[in-house]
Structure 1
Amino acid sequence: MSAGFRRGLIDLACRALQSTLPASLQPWAWAVRYEAASIPDPTEALLFTLDSLCGLMPRAIASHLLQLVALLIGEDALFCKGSNSMTIYAMIRRPRTIGVACAIGAVGLGLAYMAITAAPTRYLAINAGALVIGLTMLVLLGRTVAAGRAATGAAIAAMAAALLATALIGARADGAARWVSLGGLAIQPSSILVPLMLVAFSRIRTVLATAGIVAAVAAVALQPDRAMAGILALSLATLAIISRDRNVIVALVASVAGFAATLAQADTLMAAPYVDQILYSSFDIHASAGIAVWGGLALLLIPAIVGWRHDAENRATYAVFGALWLATIVAAALGNYPTPVVGYGGSAIIGYALSLLGLPRAVGVHARAGAQTGYELGAIVPDRHLRVGLV
């Protein structure tokens, strides 16, 4: 390891401290940087910096967790202008940004779980690659011009057609046709498309969009995919409770029938390593592996909780978002169904990232302006804050 590379690691560690420590601890970050620069031996300087990083980061993480908990319970008065707390507060006001942070955290915990359990290295690479693909698609689609109601309905119908094609000509395993093979990788289109379809339908409930949801229900029943059918039914039931719309009732009735059809068919798929039943098996390997899995799953629900608390105008959307990911977690706990995001498999990771497209870009003034013009998939204003968060 060259001296220049070691100095680069020192600079990276110092930058991490400076960007993470709260305002009250910022002098410590600068002190570490100056002290490391004054040590002539790069190895000794690196060891000093890493030791300081290990000592200070737990306090920084604890501080940010306390701030996040305060935001969740509505204690906005705890935040002082000019502090790092205000940065987190601003992020909370941007649901997509907090969703990106949760996606990164959940995938990171999933990678930690797989590393602890000695999963094949390519599994870790595939999940990390799926995160990059999903967030890239989120940023690119978020920059598109706002789609009209008819265009959004057409998009939902097109995604439903892709699910029907999967059911009819997709790759089969043990009698189920849920996958499409791309370059040797098995992709599950329903895990990618259904979350986005449901969140979009919570806002755009046209006749065409409803037809698309009904077609998606039929596709899932044909595959058959009991877990996804249950996710559709629970999410639409949640939406029906909040918004008593005729189109929602039609979609709900169809989803209940589709779920019943999957219950009448045998589900013989066996559990796959690092994919199914890991909510319990992870603790058998090591407590830290189990904590990583459960902690990552908990992160998936935070955008819904925060949005429900801070954005009353769009509660139906947050309710559907939370219901669909909670149902996905419950399905993974009850049967041999993929554990979303933290388990091996890129489809759910991409699906989670794309489902963030359905969340409002911002709450407050911008959200009210969006409500006046109509919220659609992909708003006119570029997602600058989202791109900054990714950097």
Structure 2
Amino acid sequence: MSFTPGDAGLRRRLADLVCRALQAMLPPALQSWGWAIRCETSGIANDTTALLFAIHSLCGLIPQAIASHLSQPFASRIGDGDPFAGGSTAMNINDALTRRPRTIGIVCAIGAVILGLAYMAVAGAPGRYLGINAGALAIGLTMLALLGQIQTTGRQVIGAAIAAMAAALLATALLGARADGAARWVSLGGLAVQPSSILVPLMLVAFSRARSVLATAGIVAAAAAVALQPDRAMAGILSLGLAALAGTSRDRHVMVALAASVAAFGATMVRADTLIAVPYVDQILYSSFDLHAGAGLAIWIGLALLLIPAIIGWRRDADNRATYAVFGAVWFATIVAAALGNYPTPLVGYGGSAIIGYALSLVGLPRRCGAISETVRQARTEVAATLPDRHLRVGMA
């Protein structure tokens, strides 16, 4: 494989970006490691070797950095009794990691995309692939910021939004671009976009927060759409996400939606999936190790980052566990699908749809652990209003 000077320059810039990202996440006690790695990387003459060294260093220090941030409040209390003795910057980072699941989700998305860009640069992917992934991240985070400003999250509004997204999926199944008998894509300006990868994670997370007849109808329609496309991976993601929700909230809306998703998954299983693997998109969980051990490690760590918001939220925020369960199940199922078949590898592989989808699904997570959603608060108020006994109302409060 031959590389042009432009490719080499891109690898050098990515190596520096990885080093800067490592320095940004390291706590003060480990900053000397960050500077040493950056200096060592700059001293490596070969750009590809420099990028691989930076990736190795990032993968090796991420666990220590996270452990250091999480242990900072305990260390500071033991030290001199001042909970902020370790420095306000370190405490702010620690707070974002442990109490702000949406913030840590943004950090994880950025980290996963950076690792994916580094892998594709080493693998010799076309430069436009890297640009598309970086652009998709910017678009996704921008849309997340805009949606995050919306304060009204009533059940009817969420139900209508889910129904509208389901209609878009049905339109894709009936009118979308076809390849090998599958209609999963929409062509926008010459780019193939997969609406299900963008919309289904958001639909499931939204459904976990506000369930209604209209929202349930939207999920059932989405299940029918992925069966028609057909998209076995997305049908499995729907089923696993709703199964996780059923494990925490067994109401009739969830069970109806789960039954529809299981039926859709069964329909896709009886139809052959003839799509072939696409370079830099499918099967890279294994092929990356053929390139270099560091590249393979970067892919797996990038995928593990996707699950961190769900893990932290589940442990720290009991009020919203149903949402974290669905979020984690959706992205775990996406990773499993990429491992088992010729389906896109989310965020670390080429493809902007999953990047935008991950960013949008973060809007369903609370800004801060322990924050009760407006929908949940409204539901509790409605229940309390129907109780005739004043003492029971006090108990609910």
Shorter-chain TM-score range: 0.7 to 0.9
Q: How far apart in 2 are the matches of 1:352 and 1:141?
A: 14
Distance 1:85 1:331, change over 3 A: same
AA aligned to 1:86 is M
**Which range is displaced more, 13-22 or 330-339?**
13-22
Poorly superposed stretches of 4+, deviation over 2 Å: 12-26, 46-51, 57-65, 75-80, 82-85, 366-375
Is the contact made by 1:137 and 1:354 (CA closer than 8 Å) also made in structure 2?
Answer: yes
Q: How far apart in 2 are the matches of 1:288 and 1:205?
A: 44
Distance 1:345 1:243, change over 3 A: same
Task: Tell me the secondary structure at the aligned position of residue 209 of structure 2.
Answer: coil
Is the contact made by 1:157 and 1:212 (CA closer than 8 Å) also made in structure 2?
Answer: yes
How far off its partner does 1:116 sit?
A: 1.0
Question: Structure 2 matches for 1:93-242, cutoff 5 A?
Answer: 93-242=99-248
* Alignment equivalent of 1:308, drawn from 288, 293, 314: 314
How far off its partner does 1:374 sit?
A: 6.4
Structure 2: tracts of 5 or more residues without a match: 1-16, 44-52, 77-82, 381-397
TM-score w.r.t. structure 2 length? 0.78
TM-score w.r.t. structure 1 length? 0.80
Q: How far apart in 1 are the matches of 2:272 and 2:20?
A: 54
Distance 1:332 1:23, change over 3 A: closer
How far off its partner does 1:148 sit?
A: 1.6
2:66 aligned residue? 65
Q: How far apart in 1 are the matches of 2:18 and 2:285?
A: 33
Is the contact made by 1:221 and 1:258 (CA closer than 8 Å) also made in structure 2?
Answer: yes
* Alignment equivalent of 1:81, drawn from 78, 81, 84: 84
Distance 1:286 1:78, change over 3 A: same
1:282 aligned residue? 288
Q: How far apart in 1 are the matches of 2:265 and 2:62?
A: 42
**Which range is displaced more, 103-112 or 79-88?**
79-88
Is the contact made by 1:13 and 1:50 (CA closer than 8 Å) also made in structure 2?
Answer: no
1:22 aligned residue? 27
Distance 1:88 1:370, change over 3 A: farther
Q: How far apart in 1 are the matches of 2:140 and 2:305?
A: 17
Task: Tell me the secondary structure at the aligned position of residue 181 of structure 1.
Answer: strand
1:7 aligned residue? none
Distance 1:324 1:114, change over 3 A: same
Is the contact made by 2:280 and 2:350 (CA closer than 8 Å) also made in structure 1?
Answer: yes
How far off its partner does 1:85 sit?
A: 3.5
Task: Tell me the secondary structure at the aligned position of residue 252 of structure 1.
Answer: helix
The C-alpha deviation readout for 1:229-250, integer Å capped at 9, x for no partner, is 0110111111111111110000
AA aligned to 1:125 is G
AA aligned to 1:216 is A
How far off its partner does 1:19 sit?
A: 5.8
Q: Does 1:299 align with 2:323?
A: no
Is the contact made by 1:279 and 1:293 (CA closer than 8 Å) also made in structure 2?
Answer: yes
AA aligned to 2:66 is L
Q: Does 1:90 align with 2:91?
A: no
* Alignment equivalent of 2:329, drawn from 319, 323, 326: 323
Q: How far apart in 2 are the matches of 1:99 and 1:17?
A: 17
Q: Which has the higher contact order (CA 8 A, sep 6+)?
A: 1
AA aligned to 1:152 is I
How far off its partner does 1:256 sit?
A: 0.6
Q: How far apart in 2 are the matches of 1:15 and 1:323?
A: 32
**Which range is displaced more, 142-151 or 265-274?**
142-151
Q: How far apart in 1 are the matches of 2:319 and 2:288?
A: 39
Distance 1:371 1:86, change over 3 A: farther
What is the alpha-carbon root mean square deviation over aligned residues? 3.1
Is the contact made by 1:22 and 1:60 (CA closer than 8 Å) also made in structure 2?
Answer: no
The C-alpha deviation readout for 1:95-154, integer Å capped at 9, x for no partner, is 110000000000001001101101111000000000000000000111123232101100
Q: How many residues align?
A: 340
Question: Structure 2 matches for 1:5-20, cutoff 5 A?
Answer: none
Q: How far apart in 1 are the matches of 2:289 and 2:219?
A: 38
2:360 aligned residue? 354
Q: How far apart in 2 are the matches of 1:61 and 1:165?
A: 42
Is the contact made by 2:27 and 2:68 (CA closer than 8 Å) also made in structure 1?
Answer: no
Structure 1: tracts of 5 or more residues without a match: 1-11, 33-45, 376-391
How far off its partner does 1:185 sit?
A: 0.1
AA aligned to 1:81 is F
Distance 1:88 1:261, change over 3 A: same
